[in-house]
Amino acid sequence: GENVEQHPSTLSVQEGDSAVIKCTYSDSASNYFPWYKQELGKGPQLIIDIRSNVGEKKDQRIAVTLNKTAKHFSLHITETQPEDSAVYFCAASFLSGGNQFYFGTGTSLTVIP
Amino acid sequence: DSGVTQTPKHLITATGQRVTLRCSPRSGDLSVYWYQQSLDQGLQFLIQYYNGEERAKGNILERFSAQQFPDLHSELNLSSLELGDSALYFCASSVGAHWYQETQYFGPGTRLLVL
Q: With beta carbons under 8 A apart, name residues in chain B contacting A99.
A: 48, 55-56, 97-100
Residues B55-85 pLDDT 10s: 988 889 999 999 999 999 999 999 999 999 9
Q: Which residue of B has its CA nearest to A34?
A: B100
Burial of A95 (0-12, 13-18, 19+ CB in 10 A): middle
User: Do A101 and A3 form a contact (C-beta atoms < 8 A)?
Assistant: no
Q: Best mutation site among A33, A42, A99 for testing chain B: the one with the most B CBs within 10 Å?
A: A99
Q: Please indicate if any CB of chain A lies within 8 Å of the CB of B108.
A: yes
Q: What is the pLDDT of residue A98?
A: 55
The whole-number average pLDDT for the span A33-37 is 93
Nearest C-alpha neighbor of A51 from the set A64, A33, A24, A25: A33
Decide: residue A45, CB within 10 A, 0-12 exposed, 13-18 middle, 19+ buried: middle
Query: Which regions of chain B are under pLDDT 50?
Result: none
Report d(CA A88, CA A42) in Å as an integer.
12
A62/A80 Cα distance (integer angstroms): 10
Interchain CB contact of B26 with A (< 8 Å): no
pLDDT digits (tens, 9 = 90+) for A44-66: 998 999 988 889 999 999 999 99
Inter-residue contact B107 to B8 (CB < 8 Å): no
- Single-letter residue type at B75: E
